[in-house]
Amino acid sequence: MKIRKTLFILFGIFLFALMLGVGAGLYYYTHPPMVKALIEKAASRATGASVSIQHLSYSLNPIKIHAKGISFQPAGEENGLSAQIQGFVADCALNGAFGRKTLVFRTLKVNGFECRVHKGATAVSKGPRSEEGPSF
């Protein structure tokens, strides 16, 4: 009886987590501006730069992503790398057997890519090997 009750509780927790995940997925699917903000925040954290996207649209069947006005700027008043992309279009597909799906980019088009290194930016890592210079 005790094992049955424990399994029932674990199954309930699993169902709740599954419903929460499905609900979050549906929310983001129906609210593209929230996806844009989520992508901007994640890219900013990953790159350490300020990332902004002027326009983002996507579809799931077929999988297509369109973005316009993507810009990467150094955070704060720092010198560093900045980049602008005027247009980005990706046509994707999920290939493979169930449970082993792989995202495949059929076409990837980037229009108007511009990259600049601002005064004072260096390519030397500031990690533990910084006194040795670049590894290449």
Helix, strand, or coil here: 77? coil
- Residue 11, amino acid: F
Instruction: State how far Cα 62 lies from the chain centre.
Output: 19
Specify the pLDDT at position 16.
94
Specify the pLDDT at position 123.
53
Specify the pLDDT at position 127.
47
Specify the pLDDT at position 60.
81
Phi then psi dihedrals of residue 132, to 5 deg: -85, -20
Specify the pLDDT at position 86.
93
Tens digit of each residue's pLDDT, the chain (136 residues): 788 888 889 999 999 999 999 998 888 777 878 888 888 999 888 888 889 999 988 888 888 999 999 998 887 666 677 889 999 999 999 998 988 999 999 999 999 999 888 776 555 445 454 455 554 4
The 10 Å Cβ neighbour count of residue 12 is 10
- Residue matched to tokens 């419903």: 19
Q: Are 91 and 116 in contact (CB under 8 A)?
A: no
Q: Are 87 and 79 in contact (CB under 8 A)?
A: no
Specify the pLDDT at position 120.
61
Instruction: State how far Cα 76 lies from the chain centre.
Output: 22
Domain ranges of the chain: 31-121
- Residue matched to tokens 């300020």: 50
Residues 6+ apart with CB under 8 A from 71: 51, 52, 82, 83, 84, 85
